[in-house]
Structure 1
């Protein structure tokens, strides 16, 4: 008897999407067959997975044209490959409408994984038409979705208040399984004797506090800031570091595969997560970088936003800023670099034992146990 198949779709190019890959790995463990529909947005790397990955060639790489093209192509792709025995899994609201329509046409279950509050994302700040489009999709479909999970308590509470829909919380945390890579293959900047390393990892976009990190580096001596990732603001922030004459200590390393990142992050002395309050989606965000830093054994300088601040303070794994002032940020950087990693090590270990995918997987298992497969 064939195993039930889950078809999951995401707008990313998939290679660097750790959350969707972790979910897929768990679903395989639960006994499901898998297919993934991804895109060429921000690159078209070669995929090497034990399940099929369909790649939609997306010509538009930004704006509503990107989302319109993705939704159109995703709808027809799902319509073609979905059978009446399958289960659809949509990642975020930008993939929700095609999944919902195909679930109705084919009569199959739909599961929704909300990585953020899409209608309240910072990219919709001062864009009322775009915000209205996504809000309409979200408010029309989400109350009808039976199987629904998200990444933080703040998000879950907001969804319940807004739509009367209770989401299960599946945090975006690392696995504790051994890393498959044994050596670093990425060219890293040279570190001088006694020089410290600060790290930011994630999408390079506005509202992440990256520009404030760069500005703070004007006042930080004997340290480098490694910015790992890619995104629409990369060129702008590279120009900013040149303008402020800190480009000799602000290093943009580009996109790095997750397996390599697990080897690089522990080399840092301090992890930065300085998201700004540009809307509800960021206000209640709990970024995976917080947990990546924790597993890497490096203390965290975080923002004052509630989910991040509460996590850092509850577990004693770092400090938080009170405002996005470059001078304050630099002062806290100096304090934490002077303290070193040692005072935080015990708490970081405790937090890593709490925040790991193996723990979250049990909750995920509960959601998918409704489908007829031995898990």
Structure 2
């Protein structure tokens, strides 16, 4: 019997809510790989049960330079002493360990860039830290043969900067996991934001906009650096009855929540190229659940919404203008009817089963 080729996939999160990585691991497993997903264990990490193997490391540090150094050192040791035929690094913060392990063990490394890492808002005002990540990126990316990312814009930037050829695998949901839209008759309409609760996501403005939106509740599903700050803002603005935080949800919990929404928000601010070129998981999750969307006037998201006519585009992050856009999206019955009709067809086209064909093309040569 032919031995299964083994692939080790690495991330810096605790694996619980990373839907993209879960889909990739499942597709690789279906191709015939033996998959081992490596991440980290946090104090509040939930149990996980996957069809593929997982390993979570307990680290001394949880953020900053010491965390990234410790993680990559520990990951490098792990990769060196585990059998692997292929390594898959997710994002720049895992690439260093994978890159050196690949060189030492002489096994191929594949790079999945989930975002334009060196242009994230958290690095904009930290030039020395940004310069360090850019230096690391410039030393490794030109030497990589197998790369993919989440949208055409980021792929084009990497090609222009480093001559690297990136394929595109978008964050599209699995069709068989979709739930039917749940009608909330006689209940407040749900405006949903799901994802990382970090700076530049338009969440402060969305909360303040709720002063001017009636008959609806803003649900923020996720966790992140500014969650406590946003909770304090809700108390200060006396909006406790209009804004609800769920905390971080598992993939299955989120799949139950998303279809209950009446409008899905993806209103990133134009803070650097990473957000300008954003094509987030949540946008496709809303589409897959049949939920109309409101997105920022940024090129990748705007192109999807305009192509399929599945929602509205907000041209301003001023909270009053945002409120007007939300009210229009929630109450214009003619537009809602059109969007929901189009969402049915769009969700049939934009499926992970279709998108995974690109992924399979990348990894087929390693079988």
TM range (shorter): over 0.9
TM-score (norm 1): 0.93
In structure 2, the residue corresponding to 1:206 is in which secondary structure? coil
For residues 119-176 of structure 1, give each alpha carbon's deviation from its aligned partner in whole angstroms, at most 9, with x where no partner exists.
1111101101110111011111011111100000111111111111121000011000
For residues 342-370 of structure 1, give each alpha carbon's deviation from its aligned partner in whole angstroms, at most 9, with x where no partner exists.
22112112221222100111111111111
The question of whether the paired residues in 1 share the 8 Å contact of 2:192 and 2:218 is answered with yes
Within 1, Cα distance between the matches of 2:208 and 2:341?
32
Within 1, Cα distance between the matches of 2:258 and 2:46?
22
User: CA offset at residue 261 of structure 1?
Assistant: 1.6
The residue number in structure 2 matching 1:142 is: 141
Runs of 4+ in 1 over 6 A off after TM superposition: none
What is the aligned-residue RMSD (CA, Å)? 1.7
Aligned pair 1:199/2:200, yes or no?
no
Within 1, Cα distance between the matches of 2:198 and 2:41?
19
Aligned pair 1:247/2:240, yes or no?
yes
The residue number in structure 2 matching 1:171 is: 170
The residue number in structure 1 matching 2:75 is: 74
The residue number in structure 1 matching 2:153 is: 154
Match of 1:327 among 320, 323, 336: 320
The residue number in structure 2 matching 1:21 is: 22
User: CA offset at residue 40 of structure 1?
Assistant: 2.1
User: CA offset at residue 50 of structure 1?
Assistant: 2.5
The residue number in structure 1 matching 2:252 is: 259
The question of whether the paired residues in 2 share the 8 Å contact of 1:199 and 1:271 is answered with yes
In structure 1, the residue corresponding to 2:246 is in which secondary structure? strand
The residue number in structure 2 matching 1:130 is: 129
Residue segments in structure 1 that go unaligned for 5+ positions in a row = 185-190
More off after superposition, 242-251 vs 49-58: 49-58
Aligned pair 1:33/2:34, yes or no?
yes
User: CA offset at residue 192 of structure 1?
Assistant: 9.0
The residue number in structure 1 matching 2:345 is: 350
For residues 58-116 of structure 1, give each alpha carbon's deviation from its aligned partner in whole angstroms, at most 9, with x where no partner exists.
23222222212211211111112145xx1100000000000000100001000000001
In structure 1, the residue corresponding to 2:87 is in which secondary structure? strand
In structure 2, the residue corresponding to 1:259 is in which secondary structure? helix
In structure 1, the residue corresponding to 2:148 is in which secondary structure? strand
In structure 1, the residue corresponding to 2:307 is in which secondary structure? helix
Within 2, Cα distance between the matches of 1:285 and 1:357?
18
Aligned pair 1:212/2:213, yes or no?
no
The question of whether the paired residues in 2 share the 8 Å contact of 1:37 and 1:53 is answered with yes
Aligned pair 1:62/2:57, yes or no?
no
Within 2, Cα distance between the matches of 1:96 and 1:43?
26
More off after superposition, 104-113 vs 46-55: 46-55
More off after superposition, 259-268 vs 105-114: 259-268
In structure 2, the CA distance between the partners of 1:194 and 1:53, relative to structure 1 (3 Å rule), is closer
For residues 177-220 of structure 1, give each alpha carbon's deviation from its aligned partner in whole angstroms, at most 9, with x where no partner exists.
146x99x9xxxxxx893521100000111111111110111111
Aligned pair 1:119/2:91, yes or no?
no
The residue number in structure 1 matching 2:276 is: 283
Within 2, Cα distance between the matches of 1:363 and 1:287?
18
Residue segments in structure 2 that go unaligned for 5+ positions in a row = none
In structure 2, the residue corresponding to 1:155 is in which secondary structure? helix
User: CA offset at residue 258 of structure 1?
Assistant: 1.6
Within 2, Cα distance between the matches of 1:281 and 1:231?
17
In structure 2, the residue corresponding to 1:29 is in which secondary structure? helix
Match of 2:358 among 356, 359, 363: 363
User: CA offset at residue 41 of structure 1?
Assistant: 4.7
In structure 2, the residue corresponding to 1:199 is in which secondary structure? strand
More off after superposition, 59-68 vs 25-34: 59-68
Within 2, Cα distance between the matches of 1:16 and 1:313?
29
The question of whether the paired residues in 2 share the 8 Å contact of 1:64 and 1:130 is answered with no
The residue number in structure 1 matching 2:11 is: 10
The residue number in structure 1 matching 2:105 is: 106
